[in-house]
A and B are shown apart, each in its own frame.
Chain A
Amino acid sequence: MDAFSEFIRGITRDNPILGLVLGLCPALAVTTSVENAIGMSVATAFVLVCSNVFISTLRKQIPSAVRLPIFIIIIATFVSIIRMVMEAYVPSMHAALGIFIPLIVVNCIIIGRAEAYASKNNVFFSFVDALGIAAGFLLVLVLIGGIREILGTGQIVAFGYTLLSLPINPAVTTMIMPPGAFLTIGIIMAVVNYQRAKKRAKGG
């Protein structure tokens, strides 16, 4: 088991959204723009890394009968921390993400990784696994956010910089409304399935 392949696994095979299909709520709700997608991913990454490392450190002390309540309380503590930090330093981002910051607590990715990985592996690999999963989450969220923002508003603006501008006129505002999120992820998943099937056919 080497660290690099564990990291890559989080982006490809165990990608939280496209591979494990966990944590769909934030992936669809906050991806109205690239900026929100990045903010959400960074907050989730912080909680994921901290909770994975912490749970992995304590994995021999936590009695298995009550492990889930303990995991939830550890995760809730880290979510409270990031929530207060964001409220203090990036209030506009905190307002845009709304209740999805506190809802990181019930994000299935975090408790899923705690249960499936951190409670069985050592601290270093749990850390690498959390980084890989967080990177996979970030990439998919930015992809969905980018598609929705470019079609919905005609340009991608992140942190005050215009990254891309296309002459889409009139802009398809449905894309930044709820239906656009379902449509985008449906098409992305179909493309991923198609590519996987093609790869499988080639491999024999």
Chain B
Amino acid sequence: MEKALLAIFLEGVFIKNFLIIQFLGLCSFVGVTKDVKSAAGMAGAVVFVMALAATASYMIYTYILVPTTMTFLDLISFIVVIAALVQLVEFVVRKNIPALYRSLGIYLPLITTNCAVLGVVMLNVQSEYNFIQSVVFGISAGIGFTIVMLMMSAIRERSSFVRTPSSIKGLPLAFLIATMLSLAFVNYFWVIPI
């Protein structure tokens, strides 16, 4: 039976949340969530590239790799596509929307090595989603990523006012916050019956 689009969407946003259930894209999760503004910038860039990468990689996989029976080259071709896509997005944004470029600027090159983007692409292939399903999964994973990035950065901004022991300050505190967020998200599995 084909999977319902709403089910894929809810799975991407909550049940299989990329950051805190599947552990994809953790580098940016702990790296750029010190304030809300940069977290939002990073999340925006990731959503954009994720949706594009899901589309482009589906085309390449279905129309080039499968007919030529070269599916073993999937990994190499996907990573090249993502790297090229990031360059292209950077170029277009810099030319046309300079204001957006200034706020996303430094995050764009980092996305090539963000495992969340390659993760979406590989999961699409693994779950054998069709075109619409792949794009929906790409977008929902991006939305889930954004939600958690914003929550995390807001909590970390507030928690900088709390007195903590010096050895917990910084990364350990971030991971303890992530533990609690993760505890909440784990239970969506029970709340949303799919």
Contacts and interface: CB of A to CB of B under 8 A. Distances in A.
A69 B87 CA distance: 11
Nearest to B164: A190
Nearest to B76: A76
Contacts of B83: 69, 72
A102 B178 CA distance: 25
A178 B23 contact: yes
Interface in A86-111: 98-99, 102-103, 105-108, 111
B88 interface: no
B115 A103 contact: yes
Assign chain B's interface to a size class.
Answer: 35 or more
B75 A174 contact: no
B122 A103 contact: yes
A133 B123 CA distance: 29
Contact of B76 (A21, A73, A107, A194): A73
A178 B21 contact: yes
A103 B171 CA distance: 23
B172 A189 contact: yes
Given A29-B22, A179-B186, A84 B118 contact: no
B175 A73 contact: no
Contact of B115 (A21, A25, A83, A187): A25
A111 B26 CA distance: 16
B79 interface: yes
Contacts of A187: 172
A189 B79 contact: no
A187 B173 CA distance: 9
B23 A197 contact: no
Nearest to B178: A182
Interface in B27-54: 27, 30
